[in-house]
Structure 1
Amino acid sequence: MLWSALKLSNTDEPLASTDPALQALAVWALQFTPRVAIAEEAVLLEVAASLRLFGGGAALRERLWPGAQELGATALAWAPNALAALALARAGLEDGLRAPLATLLDPLPLGVLSALRPHGQTLSHIGCRTLGDVRRLPRGGLARRFDAALLRALDQAYGHAPQTHDWVRLPERFEARLELPHRVDDATALVFGARRLLLQLAAWLAARQQGTTAFTLHWAHDALRSRGAGEGGQLTVRTAEPTRAVDHLSRLLAEHLARVTLAAPVGDLRLTADEVRSLPQLSASWLPDTAEGQEPLAHVLERLSVRLGADRVLRPRLCADHRPEHANRWQPVGQPLPAGARSVPPPAWPQPALLLEQPQRLLVRQHRPQYQGELQLLLGPQRIEDGWWDRDEAQDCARHAVRDYWVARSPSAGFVWVFQTRLAEEPAWYLHGVFA
């Protein structure tokens, strides 16, 4: 087994298991392993089964330690069992695997094991200063003179006795609070405190294999606020796609907060996840999707949408419509795609890369359409009939399309996409697209 201990407090004084900072660190740690426990002032993780998933011990530490520091962790240690990892973390020793466990624990002071602290004065009077000194005493004498907790703690730390743990359970709904170290009167400065809450949100989502499409940051005004300021305020941030990327969520939140003016100084923050969706795990590619350090295009567009306005940054959305001019809609980047937008089947016939905004009527000579010369019809007809239900109220008519499409070749323009109208008083030919 392999255990990691994340020590939260700078002192060895135990913290209550309900301490908000300790609970936040424990929930955050659930993204690395489901076996997370709270022990006094530390969070313990059993990570043996996670090594292969995260690419080995070095890679796991690289992901574990920076985030833990942002949440207030002050020490990290690795050991074959939980109590030994906690003792090493208290002593400031990280690597408990580089030597036999007894060699590392024997020189440590008595205070690294909580069960020995009540007996520290008595043990010091008989010349015991380290764990090794206590371990070398006659076991029978220790059992008669001290309580059973002392021997049990020694056996567990040295790996001679099993340990039991109360595992931390993932809450069904996410809600995290943070008391700011000082009062903040500028909305943009709230991002620094909110990032700690976003780290917890990302870990909660990772443990559930989900992403968020909407979260809300709540803030409470200082008690010395004016009467007209109110209790506080809130800001809801929506994303176009489910995500748990902390950097992107922080940037998006910063763009929104840049447009907010606080009515009074803020002392407390609260973050809630309003909408979450499943986030399927995709197989990694040998080729990177983006260059290292480059922000994905979708994230950039979302931030531009907040900065410039939702109606100024649009993206196309496929629609299940056989009429080419109605098969696409433009919608704000920050607006999620409808559930069926991703399931639109691809066209069965070739379609051009360039579609004219308005079809261009063609000249017809001897029943042959002309476009920079006489067209040679190569593939078709592709018959569509759609839009009888779509009514244009301004023109007081239905947008009913009954057409036969052809792939044709022009002597000068190359391959083009044309159609012939049907059921019209005067059937005509139109140019609708040009192939690249």
Structure 2
Amino acid sequence: MEVSSSLRLFGGERILHERIVAGAAELGWAQCAAAPTALGALALARCGRAGAWGIGLNALLDGLPLDSLREVAAEAAWLSRLGCRHLGDVRRLPRAGLARRSERALLQTLGQAYGEEPWSAPWLTLPEVFEARLELPGRVESAPALMFGARRLLLQLCGWLAARQAGLRSFVLRWRHDFHRRDDPPLGELPVRTAEPTRQADHLLRLLGEWLAQVRLAAPVGELSLFCDEIEPLVEATPSLLPGVAEATAGESLAQLIERLSARLGPTQVCRPVPRSDHRPEAQQAWRPAAEAPATDTPEEPAVPQPAWLLSVPLPLATRMERPQLQGDLALLAGPHRIEAGWWDTGHAAAARDYYVASNERVGLVWIYRERRLEEGGGWFLHGRFG
């Protein structure tokens, strides 16, 4: 990681180094080192050295063993027979003789590590599908305790999503049991879905924690893996540089709160209304789990006026001289609008009705219908009120 151009922005070498070490520890990296060259920092990190910011690099590298650089380690067998034990011993060998006896990559790697030759990082190609595994340091017997290892995998997943400028719709956490009964499967998994594309690590961790709290492990777990292949392009809003704005906008969004409540209470306990394409007023809305992705198709607007308030159960109306009564005579202002639908539906009764907009001075505008099916008894019914 090249950081020289970012030192002033992050408050200097020490503060930036502390942030990098803290972030690397969350991802499971045990060693971090700093050096003027990338290969020099890599060699120091492999040997557990902290390195230095441009001070005494040659002396630090000269004392490292041969296996600190991969290309040098490949030639370690015959180099050790020459008495070489450290990188400094290899550098002191005659360059012409070393070039004849070894691969060109050995001298090139040494020059790049010591800053004597230019070095360019290979282009990073991200995989199309994210899959990572983690061997746990000990056996875990409780599902919520898996969050320690799952956190590392989720942070790696969020970094992969950020590099791809994408957000996930779902991911799967899998685990392998160390010891299990013959009848129990050796593997277990927990699929997690989101209502909208996201790559916010905090929200994904909270959501996964809610789901894991409901899981019972069949046997102790020794290995975790995380899989994700359902992603969408996602461009997040640029954070504001004004003081106080970040704190004011912090917290969960409504969609994130719904997802977390659905995971804690159960998907069927948190629902939202979803419009349906149906001519029957009572069937034009259904309740679906709120965590599900919303439907993309929307029903057409009704061709006739419909009220904002519908009665859950239509109210039978009295009649006088075959005219509907509701605190007096009702004057029919518009209609009839005939509906014949629902003969195929088992969830709602079939409808054969003639709808009217009616009114009088006492009740205002109401929506009534005349039942056309004789088996339902016929008659007039109040079904809604206009605002």
Q: Counterpart in 2 of 1:272?
A: 227
Compared CA separation, residues 422 and 169, structure 1 to 2 (3 A) = same
Q: Counterpart in 1 of 2:263?
A: 306
Q: Counterpart in 2 of 1:110?
A: 62
Compared CA separation, residues 219 and 157, structure 1 to 2 (3 A) = closer
Q: Is the 8 A contact 1:217 1:235 kept in 2?
A: yes
Q: Is the 8 A contact 2:165 2:234 kept in 1?
A: yes
State the shift of 1:196 in Å: 1.8
Matches within 5 A, 1:299-338: 299-317=256-274, 328-338=285-295
For residues 34-90 of structure 1, what are the alpha-carbon distances to aligned partners after superposition, in whole Å with 9 as ceiling and x for unaligned?
xxxxxxxxxxxxx97xx6xxx955698787554421222234355664224435656
Compared CA separation, residues 428 and 216, structure 1 to 2 (3 A) = closer
Compared CA separation, residues 429 and 80, structure 1 to 2 (3 A) = farther
SS in 1 for 2:294: coil
Unaligned runs of 5+ in 1: 5-46, 370-380, 405-409
* TM-score, with structure 2 as normaliser: 0.65
Of 121, 125, 131, 1:175 maps to 131
Matches within 5 A, 1:9-408: 56=9, 65-77=21-33, 81-86=37-42, 89=45, 91-93=49-51, 96=53, 101=54, 103-112=55-64, 114=69, 142-144=94-96, 146-147=98-99, 152-223=108-179, 225-273=180-228, 276-284=230-238, 286=240, 291=248, 294-317=251-274, 328-340=285-297, 355=309, 357=311, 394-398=348-352
Q: Is the 8 A contact 2:176 2:223 kept in 1?
A: yes
Compared CA separation, residues 357 and 277, structure 1 to 2 (3 A) = farther
Compared CA separation, residues 338 and 395, structure 1 to 2 (3 A) = closer
In 1: Cα distance, 2:251 partner to 2:223 partner: 33
AA in 2 matched with 1:311: T
In 2: Cα distance, 1:167 partner to 1:284 partner: 26
In 1: Cα distance, 2:284 partner to 2:29 partner: 53
AA in 1 matched with 2:51: L
Of stretches 258-267 and 143-152 in structure 1, the one that deviates more from structure 2 is: 143-152
In 2: Cα distance, 1:167 partner to 1:203 partner: 17
In 1: Cα distance, 2:147 partner to 2:181 partner: 24
For residues 284-322 of structure 1, what are the alpha-carbon distances to aligned partners after superposition, in whole Å with 9 as ceiling and x for unaligned?
365958746633333232222222222211124455789
State the shift of 1:257 in Å: 2.4
SS in 1 for 2:189: strand
State the shift of 1:237 in Å: 2.0
In 1: Cα distance, 2:218 partner to 2:260 partner: 25
In 2: Cα distance, 1:184 partner to 1:269 partner: 10
In 1: Cα distance, 2:16 partner to 2:277 partner: 45
AA in 1 matched with 2:189: Q
Q: Is the 8 A contact 1:323 1:401 kept in 2?
A: no
Compared CA separation, residues 336 and 66, structure 1 to 2 (3 A) = farther
In 2: Cα distance, 1:64 partner to 1:204 partner: 17
CA RMSD across the alignment: 5.2
Q: Is the 8 A contact 1:388 1:401 kept in 2?
A: no
State the shift of 1:221 in Å: 1.7
In 1: Cα distance, 2:261 partner to 2:197 partner: 18
SS in 2 for 1:226: coil
In 1: Cα distance, 2:17 partner to 2:354 partner: 62
SS in 1 for 2:60: coil
For residues 211-263 of structure 1, what are the alpha-carbon distances to aligned partners after superposition, in whole Å with 9 as ceiling and x for unaligned?
2222222222224x332333232222222222222332222222222222222
In 1: Cα distance, 2:273 partner to 2:245 partner: 25
Unaligned runs of 5+ in 2: 316-324, 373-378
SS in 2 for 1:171: coil
Q: Is the 8 A contact 2:262 2:269 kept in 1?
A: yes
AA in 2 matched with 1:294: G
In 1: Cα distance, 2:51 partner to 2:238 partner: 35
State the shift of 1:327 in Å: 6.1
In 2: Cα distance, 1:288 partner to 1:172 partner: 35
Number of paired residues? 347
In 2: Cα distance, 1:403 partner to 1:279 partner: 48
* TM-score, with structure 1 as normaliser: 0.59
> Does residue 3 in structure 1 map to residue 21 in structure 2?
no
AA in 2 matched with 1:92: A
AA in 2 matched with 1:163: W
Compared CA separation, residues 403 and 163, structure 1 to 2 (3 A) = farther
In 2: Cα distance, 1:401 partner to 1:323 partner: 11
Radius of gyration: which is bigger?
Answer: 2
